[in-house]
Amino acid sequence: MKRLKLLITLFVLLLSIPMGYFIVRTLLSLEQEEAAEMRYFAETLFDAVEEDLSAIVAREEMRSVDEYNYFYTPPNSSKPVRSPLSFASNEKFMIGYFQNNPDGTFDTPLNIPGKADGAVISVIGGKLKDANRIINEKRETSLEPAEVALKIAAAERLNKFKEEANIYESKVTLSKTEKSKKMFPKRKNTKKVFP
């Protein structure tokens, strides 16, 4: 009986080692499959968002610059109308429209010319001011080192050019004097022609 118990225990132990291996491999495969599925859905979602954003960018690039004013004149009309950008955006992720000017200020079609901003416009205007401030900060931080690097590189090139020009000029001057010495050598013996 003891021998039978020992054989059964040995059989179960020998069977449990490959069984454990298969269980671990199955769990790892399930994790990999879940990660691949998540990656696929993430890539699909990213592609869909990117497609939507590129459609929005294409639509916005088609807009006329005049549409960024409160009133504008459509191409087929001579009568000014209210710009479609002067209304609050229907898209939840868009705060509103504004144009960032080179001096750091911004213009928005939400501002009625000659009138004070309403409550809704001032809330949106505050968010647009924040967005404009962020754009200006990024412009200053990203352009400043590049401009400094360009100025340094230009100054180095100018100095190198000046040095090369000076070297060339000195060589040209030396070669001219050497040529004149060869063509018109100094005479050591001089004779009086007239008494």
The ranges assigned to domains in the chain are: 1-62, 65-149
Q: For residue 72, what are the β-bridge partners? A: 81
Contacts of 72 (CB under 8 A, 6+ apart): 64, 66, 80, 81, 83
For 4-44, write each residue's pLDDT tens digit: 888 899 998 889 988 999 999 999 999 999 999 999 999 99
Give the C-alpha separation, 34 to 92, whole Å: 32
Confidence grade of residue 165 (pLDDT, cut at 50, 70, 90): low
DSSP characters over 38-105 = HHHHHHHHHHHHHHHHHHHHHHHHTS-GGGGSSEE--TT-SS-EE-GGGSPPSSTT-----EE-TTS-
Give the C-alpha separation, 178 to 184, whole Å: 10
For 43-101, write each residue's pLDDT tens digit: 999 999 999 989 988 988 888 888 888 888 888 888 888 888 888 777 777 888 887 77
Tell whether pTM > 0.85. no
Q: For residue 71, what are the β-bridge partners? A: 82
Mean pLDDT of the chain: 77
Give the C-alpha separation, 88 to 187, whole Å: 96
